Structure 1
């Protein structure tokens, strides 16, 4: 909050500078971030596509290699006379020649005859070490009606990590003579794939077995501790068959990896390459550096541009402020120059128009003051109507002749108090309590003159009695009610009340006289009697009271009249609260 308060006290130039600088900088940073994100996405997509293409081509290489193994089995099946005959040496030489010629793929060749006799290209090693898997491979080969079968990976005593291609050989009578088995060197196959794929990779067989080769110290993929060569954790390998073909996301030890999986080959195998997401960000480091340098240069240019622009825009405004500060006399105001056509020129024209309006208001205020003084003089000149004073004194004389000493004393006291209240010029404002007391004295004189046919009741709450109002506000209204509302009817009563509404003091003068129509009410607003009647105490009429209130307090205040013919009239006086003299 303190920072906001300090910022609010800054000048327009400083605020404009900060606003332009911050907004433009944020836009630039947003654009840079968007471009970097787009570049990162494009790079990621490109690397992923390259990896997918590389994986696909590598998978094709694997297919071609495995096709060579199938061709070896097919060629050996044409030499069944050597293999099925009794010449053991010739059978071994045949297997050795094929194995030596295809040593890049095949590690060990076997021919298992139907009688259980086994020939191998490494006959001596087989005779010594043996191979416990041949029996199961022989049975698996016969289960597929003579076509080539492929086993799942296993560890062979002669070939190490391997898998076997198997094909039964039959004679002309379609009798099985035996099964040719070729064990592949998986480590050799994987080592030939490694130069083709620069990422970590794994081969997944149709049954979900994983074939991979990792160097010691492998950190990208999770391996079993203490194993050499490193072996993948079973929990990780269990996830690999479920990966979708193409690019897929996976997390390993909190690190995000992109797994690029190929389509299955003829054996149902898939090749999966693993790319760490961090490698994308490393490739983007030069781009980050370029953006960082461009941002620094842009900030410098932006600071200078924002400063110059704010200075250019605010200098004319400061000139206008200086000219406005030199204004002391609104009677003679020099116009500001309006030669500019931009917003500054519009501001100058607006200021000139405002100054013209101020001069007009000053003149209006002077006229209002003069009019106020005119009403005050008029009130003084007509403050006591001669007819009222003459009739009151005649009434006192009559009561004196009738020896009504108490009535004479009370009437003289009321008349003296009323005259004192009227002539007192210490203040034009009086407390509501004083105004009501003057009204009571006036009503006492009227009741002495006319008897009990006129009544007046005052109902004002005590807390409102100290509110300040204009002197002689209520008396002319009550007088008007008596002689224009009740007198034509032959008598009646007047009620004076007060209330507070929306922070304003409202005084009401109600009578139950002859009432007023709408046209009568309009006439009251428009005209004022030129001469007071012989019954009036002062020459102040309804219109004068209304104008005095509006001159002192403004347009929202004044009198409102309501009435109905034959029912009565009510006058509402609207005044501000808590007015001090």
Structure 2
């Protein structure tokens, strides 16, 4: 995986886009190919069904015309009279003479029908009267007595019989497909059988119907078959299978639930549909060679592959250009940042635009401006710090001079018996001595309490008996580590603001307890207190650590926020100050810090 992460962003974008595009294009092309090939098959079956139905209906119409013709022949009075004369005649010459009388009658029936090839009338004893339209007729195959007997039995329950001719008729180079339409002739009005009429129909006339259909198919690939229930092929367009007993068709397809599917015919795979006629009992079968469908699928496949390749090429080109446009400014920024790394802060991005790269470029330029400004400020701050240290060295004599002066005042006051001035001078000197030590270093809580006692001694000379300090702190807690000057400002706030207007009985109480490594120090006064609005304002300011000016209108001054910020900077956010107060009752300020014992600093000399 590290090799992939080490590749350039442009390369990863190009490879990722190409793989995603390949998957999408592949799936899309696959769906398109499957859908189109499926549609081709569906359209082929739909068209074949329509053709099969139309052809079957056309065949039924032809056969209905033939049935009407045979009915007209069977009830014609002239034919009835001649057949009656035939059965009365005993002389063969008389029987032949009847044939001459029937010839013009049969001519009149067949002449208007172009698809009628010949009309034959059989007597019950097998005598034949035959009329044909051909000038040079072919030898006529007569029906045997057994065949006539079988026909009589079948025609007892059916109006007609359709029988494929045993052989095709040939006229020149054109084979003619012929089928026999046989009907019985009954005597009127007794309905006794007098004979049979056999009309031979030339099915080549059906090919004219298929002409328009074949024009719609490529290379005339559609085959139309007419098959009877025994599987004999009665008709096939463009073939010579009619009447061939070996040309049997597989009739199992007629029992399948759907009239469509695939089959093998003459060693070739076809898609088929069929329509069975309830009138003739024949089935019209439409065959489409499967290789034609496969050829169409191959064309679609080639088109899909070409479209897929073109799409992949376009997507690859676009992804490369897009990734190049994205990574070019990033590469430029990387080069500039390498220059910044060695200290050249003058490198700026010139990219303009409202997109992400433009925003990143502006942020990069602003970052360099901020770094330059901060470096300049830090440099100036260092200079100011050095100057301040020099000034502090010069000014250090002043606190020491004041501290020494206070000690002189204490000595003179004691020598002259002015004890109050000596005590005030001693307490004030202790305050200065405590304040001049390292402010950033934690001290023991006992030291902070001693500093508070010095402050209270001075204030008691001011307030007298109005002010009292109580400390409730155990000996172990007195060794706790605490930041210097974190409790004394709380006492000062209580004196200056809480107890300022108290005439007598003013009290300040300091409590310190340790629980679960947390030191809690409470400073409580019984002064004026604060109303709820003032207390909420202090809490909000402490929580948001806002600027100091927000405390200017609050009577507790800026000391609380100063202490709160110092504690959080030193110990962390969970620690700091909490204020509770009630107007007219007093105020309690709670300081919460982690408990630890103060560690003495080696080599430090007390001042």
2:153 to 111, 125, 135: 135
Whole-angstrom distance in 1 between the partners of 2:315 and 2:69: 74
Q: Is 1:353 aligned to residue 366 of structure 2?
A: yes
The answer as to whether partners of 1:456 and 1:494 remain within 8 angstroms in 2 is yes
2:255 to 222, 226, 238: 238
Q: CA 1:457–1:6 in structure 2 vs 1: closer, same or farther (change >3 Å)?
A: farther
Q: Is 1:169 aligned to residue 169 of structure 2?
A: no
**1:189-241 deviation line (CA, Å, top 9, x unaligned):** 99999998956777698xxx6856499xxxxxxxxxxx97656465x43335x
1:324 to 319, 333, 337: 337
Q: Is 1:334 aligned to residue 346 of structure 2?
A: yes
| Partner residue in 1 for 2:63 | 66
5+ long unaligned stretches in structure 2: 130-139, 169-178, 215-219, 236-244, 415-428, 543-547, 553-557, 600-607
Q: CA 1:366–1:509 in structure 2 vs 1: closer, same or farther (change >3 Å)?
A: farther
TM-score norm. by structure 1 comes to 0.57
Whole-angstrom distance in 2 between the partners of 1:506 and 1:150: 121
Alignment of 1:195-234 (within 5 A): 213=233, 232=250, 234=252
| Partner residue in 2 for 1:271 | 284
Q: Is 1:18 aligned to residue 35 of structure 2?
A: no
**1:379-411 deviation line (CA, Å, top 9, x unaligned):** x9999x98xx99xx99xx9xxxxxxxxxxxxxx
Q: How far apart are residue 351 of structure 1 and its match? A: 1.8
Q: How far apart are residue 360 of structure 1 and its match? A: 4.7
Q: Is 1:544 aligned to residue 541 of structure 2?
A: no
Whole-angstrom distance in 2 between the partners of 1:507 and 1:542: 16
Helix, strand or coil at the partner of 1:138? coil
Q: CA 1:277–1:549 in structure 2 vs 1: closer, same or farther (change >3 Å)?
A: farther
Q: How far apart are residue 545 of structure 1 and its match? A: 1.9
Helix, strand or coil at the partner of 1:271? strand
Alignment of 1:70-109 (within 5 A): 70=67, 73-74=70-71, 76-77=73-74, 78=76, 79-84=79-84, 85-86=86-87
Larger mean CA deviation between 450-459 and 187-196 belongs to 187-196
The answer as to whether partners of 2:184 and 2:193 remain within 8 angstroms in 1 is no
The answer as to whether partners of 2:230 and 2:251 remain within 8 angstroms in 1 is no
Larger mean CA deviation between 260-269 and 189-198 belongs to 189-198
Q: How far apart are residue 321 of structure 1 and its match? A: 1.5
Q: Is 1:490 aligned to residue 506 of structure 2?
A: yes
Helix, strand or coil at the partner of 1:491? strand
- CA-based RMSD of the aligned residues comes to 6.6
Q: How far apart are residue 73 of structure 1 and its match? A: 1.6
Whole-angstrom distance in 2 between the partners of 1:571 and 1:339: 56
Alignment of 1:139-158 (within 5 A): 139-140=157-158, 149-150=159-160
The answer as to whether partners of 1:169 and 1:176 remain within 8 angstroms in 2 is yes
Q: How far apart are residue 70 of structure 1 and its match? A: 2.3
Whole-angstrom distance in 2 between the partners of 1:422 and 1:163: 137
Alignment of 1:235-314 (within 5 A): 236-239=253-256, 243=259, 260=273, 267=280, 271-273=284-286, 280-293=293-306, 295-296=308-309, 299=312, 303=316, 306-314=319-327
Q: CA 1:73–1:527 in structure 2 vs 1: closer, same or farther (change >3 Å)?
A: closer
Q: How far apart are residue 318 of structure 1 and its match? A: 1.0
TM-score norm. by structure 2 comes to 0.55
The answer as to whether partners of 1:112 and 1:178 remain within 8 angstroms in 2 is yes
Helix, strand or coil at the partner of 2:581? strand
| Partner residue in 1 for 2:584 | 566
Q: How far apart are residue 126 of structure 1 and its match? A: 2.3
5+ long unaligned stretches in structure 1: 141-148, 216-226, 244-248, 398-414, 530-539
Q: CA 1:123–1:283 in structure 2 vs 1: closer, same or farther (change >3 Å)?
A: closer
**1:11-40 deviation line (CA, Å, top 9, x unaligned):** 332233234434555565566556646654
**1:423-464 deviation line (CA, Å, top 9, x unaligned):** 875x9465xxx76565676789899999996545579xx9xx
**1:80-99 deviation line (CA, Å, top 9, x unaligned):** 2333430596589979x99x
Q: How far apart are residue 474 of structure 1 and its match? A: 4.6
Q: How far apart are residue 257 of structure 1 and its match? A: 9.0
Whole-angstrom distance in 2 between the partners of 1:63 and 1:541: 115
**1:505-533 deviation line (CA, Å, top 9, x unaligned):** 9967463634223458669954999xxxx
| Partner residue in 1 for 2:241 | none
| Partner residue in 2 for 1:516 | 530
Q: How far apart are residue 483 of structure 1 and its match? A: 7.1
